[in-house]
Structure 1
Amino acid sequence: MNRREFTLSLAAASALVAGASRLASAAEYPTRAVKIICPFAPGGSGDISARLFADHFKTATGQTLVVENRTGASGGIGAAAVKSSDPDGYTLMLSTSSILIANELFYKTLPYDPRDFATVGIVGSTGMFMLVNPATPYKTVAEFIAYAKANPKDVLSAHFNTSSRIGAAIFAARAGLTFNEIPYKDVGQAVTDLIGGRLTVVFLDTVAAAQHIQGGGLRALGITTGERNKLYPDVPALAETFPGLEVFAFLSVSAPAKTPRDIQEKLNKLVVETIQAPAIQPRLEQLGLISKPMDLAAVDAFVETERKRWAEYVKIAKIEKE
């Protein structure tokens, strides 16, 4: 064997060893603790979902999934940390539609590119309740629209995140209304002002809205999902009035984009098992999440569909990047 043949043989052998090593590592994954970064504060739906996934991960694999909360910059700080991690499946992210889609449409600069990530599973999606003060005379969507058209200068809406802003804007566009938008730094003050009568309407996610609806502090006129929420069967879907009106946010699990596909497949299976687990499924429903099992191909298609949908929403809402 001459030197050239020896070199080629050595290179081929190295490639085979490397390939076998990758296959072995994927087959054995995970062999140690895994970290999932949650870009949101403890106690919210994202944090709770991450911990439910961590519980099943431990049961299914025998390895610990550590939840690490890194908040700030609309999820950007946590996303940037995951982006810079090794693509080996040992650093994951509890991702959202804001991180993967909306932020890119709302902000000129981000500390990451949404395509830095591979979404391996969808935990669930949630719509927003259209909330008003219960002391107001309008008790239905039709009555609200009639009031808003008769009093256009008096209709004040709040927005405090991408979903609340888009929800209000799309409803207004479909209803032929103009809302006077007031930006808020956080949802708490917006809800306080709605209860106090200083706002007319707020679009709020199901988790944050639940206590106010159940306690009678706010009235839900509708929800932005395509169908009614099982926990609130008396609240109509806005799509019943405006067919096709659907605005929802989703929670998902993502990994760095270059994570091996077979490890992504394993993670996808774990997410699907989590949302179907008898002990976990009811808890996700209590969070207002609608969960449907999807394989990796379906997840890819879902995210791409939502990316196109949100781009259209932003055009309709005439929102310019900040």
Structure 2
Amino acid sequence: MVKVLELAGVNKSFGKFQALKDVTFSIEEGEVFGFLGPNGAGKSTAIRTILGLLKRDSGKIELMGEDATSNVLESHKKIAYVPGDVFLWPNLTGGETIDLLLRLGGHERSKHTDELIKKFELDPKKKARTYSKGNRQKVALIAAFSADVDLYIFDEPTSGLDPLQERNFQEEVLKLKAAGKTVLLSSHILSEVEKMVDRVAIIRTGEIVKVGALTEMQELSAVNVRAVITDSEVVTGFAALDNFTQQNSKISFTVTHEQLPSVLAELAQAQVHDVQITPPTLEDMFMQFYLDNGVTANDQK
């Protein structure tokens, strides 16, 4: 597979504070790559370094096999970028701003642009200074989705959007994926990312703590078990399991894949009426990587 973006040993400090520590990952052509971490973990710093808006202290950043920051203007023609907080030219209309953003990247307005304006319910005739935060996001998203580039970078892109527009965003990302495009999606809204990504990188205090396919990470993590039993006397045998809860005859807990066969055998002895076994959510795995090391989201701020 073609590596669209590759970071190797990237470091960035602000004075004595090291914001990025040996950040290493790569994104292959045609995949949606989730870049996850709470606010303050280093996601936006890494993205701004990729874009050349910040200068890295050391390490390698390559876009389509070439140094991404040696010629930033050329690199940006291959990238569509939407930050988490979009600022626009106040005296231009939304439509004029979309056209300008496309021209700056060397792209033309198309029929697809008009379709996106309608889909995201943007009034393109209003001045940007009248737009809410959500409408400013829409302008940047419409321009990005209208561009034909090698890499789409979305950094907390749905901030300010209502649930309907969030779903529209997800649909457009999946269309890019179906078309073989490459997407870097940075977010702390894990339920949003889970619907779209192929692989994820989890960043904690500026360090990458895990990179892998979502399915592979689920296989390595504990599974969630919910059951309805009739023999309440055996409940004590499950009470020591992780995350155990009980509500009358309903019990739930988490176990590793290795523990699962023996636990199922014990459940059979408890006269099970119903059992549900589900893989961990992305949020489950994310919290595992943070809390297993005694770190909370508040520690990242």
The alignment's TM-score, normalised by the length of structure 1, stands at: 0.24
The structure, 1 or 2, with the larger RCO (C-alpha pairs under 8 Å, 6+ apart) is 1
The alignment's TM-score, normalised by the length of structure 2, stands at: 0.25
